[in-house]
Amino acid sequence: MTTRKEPYFKKLLDEEIFLHKYEKRQKADICLVFPASYSVAMSSLGYIAVHDKLMQEGLHTDRAFIDEKLGLYAIESRRLISTYRFLFVSLYLEEHLLYFIEMLRKLNIEPLSEKRESHFILAGGPLVDLLPGIISRIADGIYKGPLTDEGIDAIRGFCKNPKKNFDFENCNGSNKVDACGNVITPNSHFPEKFLIEIQKGCPHGCKFCSASRSSLGFIDRDFYLLNVKHARKFTDKIGLVGLALHTHPLWKELLKETVELGYSIGTSSLRFDMLDNDILDLLKKGKMKTVSTGLETGSRKLLEMTGKGFNSEDFLSFAERLKKTNMESLKLYLIIGLPLETEADIIETAELMNSFNSIYKGRIEISINPMVPKRNSVWKDASFIERRDYRKRIDILKTNIKNKRISFNIESYRSSQVMYLLNKMQDNELEDLCYDKAFFRKKEGKYG
């Protein structure tokens, strides 16, 4: 490692606050990789929780990221990633798989498990559920779900006797909810925020989502209070994590107790039809300034098709509740390119937003994404919108929304197209992905 990078390594480590101390660090055989920047990784509760669990169990683990300022070195030891025998990787988004493959190639590590003679790779994270066939050809083992005691025992076995196609099946599928962030840092996307998972799974049937109708699990109230009270000694900021936070049987009570502890509260995206006046009041008391929620579309036809379970009248009622609470701002997610969508649907969405704006006077950021048909979703076989149609419909939306308080955050068409192509990719195409630089251009011709 060049001495030029050393001050940045030291700065990141010096500014980390650990809520629980580990035993004296020993030389690690495991490098836990997050294929994105340090700030993104430190915003990922899953990644943070896995590192914490491994360290608590005496499986000494260093961390590494795909970060220009850090290079290809682990942050604790400054060792080159390729010097570790075991690479554990957390894969959350399709692009993370590409970054990880690129990282392996830069380190001269063979990406394909069947051809790799050195290094053993264990993969986890949401992407292993979405692309298991592809990832199993890169990883020597796949771990699904939260890290359980049985999983720790299996990982010990994997490290003592590593082999290809290691079976973690008996450890997978736990619905236990106990993920807490053990590290707080100002260098995260959520600066100095304690992250804790409230629930997992989602009961709703949104046809574009790969997590719809997934089984539910909830954090135990006593466990929650024990951890948030301890974390309050270190920070007054908290992030409540979950796909459907409103489904927790004690959701309102947990919020109230968190507010009473003096926390500034942040949450995952919330369903607006489940945000009643009491919940909004608690969020406001918890110093929340911006509520994030998904509308997806303002078209009556498309709302019914998506299976969201609410309608435009519900959205306007939400505007009244936001106004009453005096919430400062709203972040709203829209999707363009839903099946059977026309320009008339986009205009209808703009008209609904104009009606919403006539009620709620706060700032609004609209985040626009093209629909990416996910493998595990009901609409997995839907087509992907053409680039020219995506741009045209965005222009129609922006032209027809009459409000200077609204800003737009437009997702890159190219990055979404790569996600789509990976979801369409066959397992036997992985070798081309690893070695053919023209892979995506050829795929565009096949599916575009």
Q: Is-same-fold flag (6-171; 193-411)? A: no
Digit-coded pLDDT (tens) for 411-442: 999 999 999 999 988 888 888 888 876 777 66
- Is residue 310 within 8 Å of 246, Cβ to Cβ? no
pLDDT at residue 447, rounded to an integer: 46
Q: Which residues of the chain have pLDDT under 70?
A: 1-4, 170, 172-174, 437, 441-448
pLDDT at residue 442, rounded to an integer: 63
Give every CB contact of residue 207 below 8 A, 6+ residues apart in sequence. Answer: 305, 306, 307, 377, 378, 379
CATH number of this structure's domain 6-171, picked from the four choices 3.40.50.2300, 3.30.70.1380, 3.40.30.20, 1.10.3720.10: 3.40.50.2300
- Of 392, 326, 408, 395, the C-alpha closest to 359 is 326
Pull the structure tokens for residue 393: 């419909």
Q: Indicate the pTM of the whole model.
A: 0.93
Distances (CA, A) of 43 to 37, 145, 188, 237: 10, 18, 6, 13
**Sole residue written with tokens 């990416």:** 372
Residue 143 to residue 138: CA distance in whole angstroms: 13
What fold characterizes domain 193-411?
TIM Barrel (3.20.20)
pLDDT at residue 45, rounded to an integer: 96
Which residues are paired to 426 by β-bridges?
Answer: none
pLDDT at residue 268, rounded to an integer: 95
pLDDT at residue 172, rounded to an integer: 63
Q: Where are the domains of the chain?
A: 6-171, 193-411
